[in-house]
Structure formats: C-alpha cells, structure tokens
Amino acid sequence: MRSATAHKGKSGKSDRSVACDKTVQTINVNAVTESIADMNLMLENLTPLARVEWSLTHLPSQHMLSSSFGAHSAVMIHLLNQVAPGIPVVLTDTGHLFAETYQFIDMLTEKLDVNLHVYRAQVSAAWQEARFGKLWEKGLEDIEKYNTMNKVKPMQTALRDLKAKTWFAGLRRSQSQGRKSLNVLHKQASQFKVHPIIDQSNRDLHLYMQTHKLPYHPMWDRGYVSIGDWHSTAKLEAGMTEEQTRFFGLKRECGLHEFGDGGGI
C-alpha cells in the first residue's frame, strides 16, 4: 500500500547561509564518461547549497528527496525547496513512528510547503506483527527482514513510481562509522545519489536552523538524536554513541541507504 499527498505553503528563496561565499562551478558533465571521483573532488569544495544547485543543473532530471523527518530534517527540506520548490519528498512509513514524528511531519509539510509522498509496505504493520511477531526483538536477521519490508521495498517502489534519476539524501559522515567514507555524489544502477550536507556538523545544522527559524524534531530536546521507530530508538545516554541509539546497538542503518550505496536497485 502507498499514498502520496501534496501541500501548498510558503517557499523560501535561495540563500547561501549554510554555503556562504562559494559559487557553483558550471562545467560540462557527461554522466557516462566523466569520472565520479573527479566530480567528487570538485563537489567537496562546494557548499551544501552550491552542491544542490550544481546537481540540479548537471545531473538527470526527475529529482527527489528522501526524508525520515528526524531531528534535523528541516534543513534538507528547506535547502532543496529554495532552488527546487515542489521537489517530491519521500517518506517510508513503517507504521511504528513516534506520535511526535507524525505530528512533526504534518507541521513541516505545512510550514515548508512539502510535496510529500508517503510509501508503505504492502502488508500493514498490524498484519506483519500478527504474521511474523515482533521482528525487531528477534535479532539482527529479523531486524533486516523488517527493514527490507518496511524501508527498502517501499523506497524502491517510490524510485520507480517517480522515475527518479537523481536522489537527494541528508546523510552525514559524523552520524556513524559506516558513513564516514561516503562521498557527496554516488552513482548506483539507475540513479545518481547526492549527499549535500555530508560534511556538516550538528553545529553547522544548528546555525542554519537558527538563521532560517527552522524547528527541530520535538524529541530532540528530550535526548533523542537519531529518531526512527518507537520500538528501536533510544535516548542518547552518557557513554553511548549515536549509532547505539538505534536497533539496540546491533546496527546503525535501516537498510534504506545500504541498498542505495551498495548494489543499486
């Protein structure tokens, strides 16, 4: 089952506050023959906004942004909407998000004029639990099964439905060991994947949010730094890393970006 909704509101104008004094390099890029490594060398020296502008100019159209509507999600939505108002924003809804997350989605959708597309598993959350039990409590193998059903497959459907050729995502190197080696640009089987804020710190994002009066997820102030499903998200306690707040510390990734950065679709 899947659904898509669109809302109209105010759209922000282009601003370089996260990306203050750098300009877009207008170069000819042949997506087939140009070296991804060379592109990444250039993109590393651009600011987040400039990376977005470059990508919209030089990479294939049919763009989309994926969002978990987590702690800092307003940054990417605002950033993309400045230069690509109306870009499809895809949420994969497991049916197990916190109530505060659903409320935050509604609020941000209205505030930032989000063209929201919601995708879900073919089998409802309640039916999955009746059929398989609480997969998230059964160890790593069943957690991966849960993530495949509720995250990976719905996102694959979204990419096909939207005919997406360029996929923007808000991954950052500081979030986990597994993300430290990610580049700004990645080419997978049928999409380019762009990480405009890959090198941004929590402080960088905080300053951007202050400048543009953007809200944090309401659970941020209660100690939640990485916010997913209610059953497998924990507060950040003393001695913990951000990675340990998800899936009982067994794994950081839900699978959504592992398939995107691995074998493609």
Supply the residues annotated as catalytic. 254
Which whole-number Å values give the CA distances from 191 to 145, 194, 223, in the listed order? 24, 10, 35
Do 254 and 113 form a contact (C-beta atoms < 8 A)?
Answer: no
Please calculate the CA angle 55-225-249 and round it to the nearest 5 degrees.
105
Burial group, residue 150, by CB count within 10 angstroms (0-12, 13-18, 19+): buried
Amino acid (1-letter code) at residue 240: M
| The 115-119 sheet, strands edge to edge | 2-4, 115-119, 88-92, 63-66, 166-168, 192-194, 185-187
Are residues 50 and 23 in contact, defined by beta-carbon separation less than 8 angstroms?
yes
Residue 50 CB contacts under 8 Å (≥ 6 apart), including other chains: 16, 19, 22, 23, 24
Instruction: Tell me how far the alpha carbon of residue 236 is from its chain's centroid.
Output: 20
- Give the DSSP H/E element, type plus range, for residue 82: helix 73-83
CA distance 259 to 224: 26
Q: Mind giving me the DSSP string for 104-124?
A: HHHHHHHHTT-EEEEE--SS-
